[in-house]
Structure 1
Amino acid sequence: MTAATSSLVGWDDAAAVAGRLAPPGPAVSRSEAEHLVASLHSAARRAVEPVLEITAMTPADGRDLETSPLSEILVVDRPGWARAAARSMRDMTEDAFVLPPGAGAALGAQVAASTEIGATLAFLSTKILGQFDPYSAREPGRLLLVAPNVLHVERELGVRPDDFRLWVALHEQTHALQFAAAPWLASHLRDRTTALLGAMSTTSTLREVPPRVAALLRAVYRAVRGREGATLVDGILTCEQQVELDAVTAVMSLLEGHADVAMDTVGPRVVPTVRAIRRKFEKRRDTSGAADTVLKRLLGVDAKIAQYRDGASFVRSVTREVGTAGLNAVWTDTSTLPTALEIADPASWVRRVHG
């Protein structure tokens, strides 16, 4: 970005706000924290082999996973995740919000948009267990595990820590493998997201853009990170933009559902208490306090449950019909990705792709 151009969003400011507002996690001793970090690193490494076996997928570059990692593993706290998420949003959207030379956004509006995004990420930092970031500047992408959230949830559920940590890592390493097996996927999502967000600068006045950008960013970020829901963007999307958002959301339903199926399919041989973990986790997903429920609904966090479940239903239905090899056709190229209608009707995807 040159001196003659400016952005609608101050990403450094958003990252700083997110990091400052993210609350600390459960209190632990130094030795407990060190053990937790080491355990999560170990779980992420151990998750790779069963994920490869269950999915029957391999990295497209043919890398030897004995010597080259499937992902860079980072164990972070809540502020660390919040700052990383802001940077990921910046990298994912690239130059979608760069204004033409001489057309600067009002400083107050930019600050307001950056603060709103940062505050949203700070709230989400208490909910995220892990995340694979394919937009990291370093190859092969970063797998972030949020240590305080993993600890909080495993205590709340009363599950075996080693089993739960491996279960979470299985989900995230499945995401790492998805992007490694389909190296075109990250750029495809970035291109569609950038096109969608960039349209905001042509459908709004400069005065309207920053708050609309903040709202739309929340919706798109939920979609590409598995948190779909348009509660706060009702009425601001054009029909064309809604179609584009639906398309991105369909892809993410596939990714999240595929990862959810993989983490359960490993079975008791890999995670002895996997069935008990899933049962307790689903119950937790479906229940929360009144205040928390309102915030989740406003931010669209609760809608991720339907997205995960719809995607998992698609994966299971397609696998029953054409097997794992048939399902893996989704990673061929952009033309074999499911549409929103096909996520709801898996048989239609099978007919289109397999005849």
Structure 2
Amino acid sequence: MTTSADLTIGTAVDWRFAATVGQRLARPGPPSSDYTRRQAITELTSSAAKAEPLVRDVTGLATEGAIPAARVVDRGEWVGAAAESMRLMMNGTEKPRGFLTGRITGAQTGAVLAFVSSGILGQYDPFAADREGCLLLVYPNVIAVERQLRIAPADFRLWVCLHEVTHRVQFTANRWLADYMSQGLALLTRDAGEDVGQVAGRLAEYVRNRGVGTPDADGSSPGILGVVRAVQSEPQRQALDQLLVLGTLLEGHADHVMDAVGPMAVPSVALIRRRFDERRQRKQPPLQRLMRALLGLDAKLIQYTRGKAFVDHVVGRVGMERFNTVWSGPDTLPLPAEIEDPQRWIDRVL
């Protein structure tokens, strides 16, 4: 469960080549009959529609206009959609001026998308379709996980849709969020105007003072986030912090909604949550752990935990209506320290 913003890599990318490479490298989904595939596609489509009023009722967030149907895709189709979304988000062109550089970065980007495509269940992309947004559900991965966890397919499919539809409601009810995210991403990827010596100096200072083997403060893989921050300018660090906090809030809020809908809509919700969390925490082969670390996916799992704890605490103390003050604008988003101590956000904002 992610957004296209989580996969941003850079601007000098041949996006069409990235999509081609990613689609060729993407692993096939689990063996399934035509009937199983058709049934999963149909049920995910209907579950996304069913989730919309449930999410609105729990969150109290109102959206306007017609709700477009979800796109239910396979892994290759998701790679193509993600590459196109990233191109639009980064204001890229089909082919950058540096052909060789564009092909190299395109191949790297395609390899990343292929790796991610085997694990992502769904994605709401606020930047697609001229910023009207698009909800994608990756049916081979949904089938794979529900088989692995031995849980009722109908319940699990609705549960997944509740999370992704919550992201759609977050962005459609609060239109400023997409611009806020886009501005942060633009700052992160903008050339800071510094020479290589300055960047190398900051990196050397980081290694000397802390060492790349030290775990980051968020508990993610050793030093990955720290190395990124070490080569950034101060405005870029601030933008990164803002995006990390926003991502933590969005994911935690969606996880809260998944469980708040309750057993009347998802009868086996408690079993699904327990087995799904066990799956998140399961140890993985060394190569896969390294890939997840380099892509920041382990840090993203921590976002779910911390974000849900924040939302659970605030909603438990003041109720969902007052919690929704968080969506008023950038100034009411939690600060990094407030994610860890929700009472500080309540004291400052409410």
Compute the TM-score of the two structures, normalised by the length of structure 1.
0.83
How far did residue 316 of structure 1 move? Answer: 1.1
Amino acid at match of 1:35: Q
Partners of 1:8 and 1:140 lie apart in 2 by: 25
- Answer yes or no: is the 8 Å Cα contact 2:229–2:237 preserved in 1: no
Partner of 2:340: 344
Partner of 1:48: 52
1:45-74 per-position Cα deviation (integer Å, ceiling 9, x unaligned): 111121111111111xx43xxxx21x4410
In structure 2, C-alpha distance between the alignment counterparts of 1:180 and 1:204, rounded to whole Å: 40
Aligned to 1:270: 265
Mapping of 1:289-304 within 5 angstroms?
289-291=284-286, 292-304=288-300
Question: What amino acid is the match of 1:114?
Answer: G
Match of 1:312 in 2: 308
Deviation at 1:87, TM superposition (A): 1.5
Aligned partner letter, 1:280: R
Q: For each residue in 1:89-144, what CA deviation from the matched residue of structure 2 results, as whole angstroms up to 9, or x when unmatched?
A: 22222269x99xxxx54x43332222111111110001100001111115642110
In 2, are the aligned partners of 1:231 and 1:300 still within 8 Å (CA)? no
Q: 2: CA distance between counterparts of 1:296 and 1:117?
A: 15
- Paired positions, count: 315
SS in 2 for 1:137: helix
Query: Following superposition of structure 1 onto structure 2, how do residues 60-209 of structure 1 map, counting pairs within 5 Å?
Result: 62-63=64-65, 68-69=66-67, 71-94=68-91, 105=98, 107-137=99-129, 140-200=132-192, 202-203=193-194
Task: Find the aligned partners of 1:236 and 1:9 in 2 and give their Cα distance.
Answer: 21
What is the CA RMSD across the aligned residues, in angstroms?
A: 2.4
Partner of 2:5: none
SS of residue in 2 equivalent to 1:23 = coil
Deviations 1:227-282 (A, max 9, x none): 99637736432343222111111001100000000001111111000000000000
Query: Which piece of structure 1 moves more, 170-179 or 230-239?
Result: 230-239
1:39 lines up with 2:43 in the alignment: yes
Aligned partners of 1:318, 1:90: CA distance in 2, in Å?
37
Instruction: Provide the secondary structure at the position in 1 that maps to 2:319.
Output: helix
Task: Assess if the C-alpha contact under 8 Å between 1:132 and 1:176 holds in 2.
Answer: yes
What are structure 1's unaligned runs of at least 5 residues?
1-6, 209-226
CA distance, structure 2, for counterparts of residue 132 and residue 245 of structure 1: 20
1:341–1:166 distance in 2 versus 1, CA, 3 Å: same
Q: 1:204 to 1:109 in 2, by over 3 A?
A: farther
Q: For residues 288-332 of structure 1, what are the alpha-carbon distances to aligned partners after superposition, in whole Å with 9 as ceiling and x for unaligned?
A: 332322321232212211111111111111112221111101111
> Tell me, what secondary structure is at the counterpart of 2:262?
coil
Identity %: 40
Paired with 1:174 and 1:79, the residues of 2 have a C-alpha distance of 25
Structure-2 residue corresponding to 1:214: none
* Cα distance change of structure 1 residues 39 and 327 upon mapping to structure 2, 3 Å threshold: same
Aligned counterparts of 1:271 and 1:165: Cα–Cα separation in 2: 10
Alpha-carbon distance between aligned partners in 1 of 2:52 and 2:327, rounded to the nearest angstrom: 19
In structure 1, distance between residues paired with 2:297 and 2:269: 24
> Distance in 2 between the 1:18 and 1:141 partners?
22
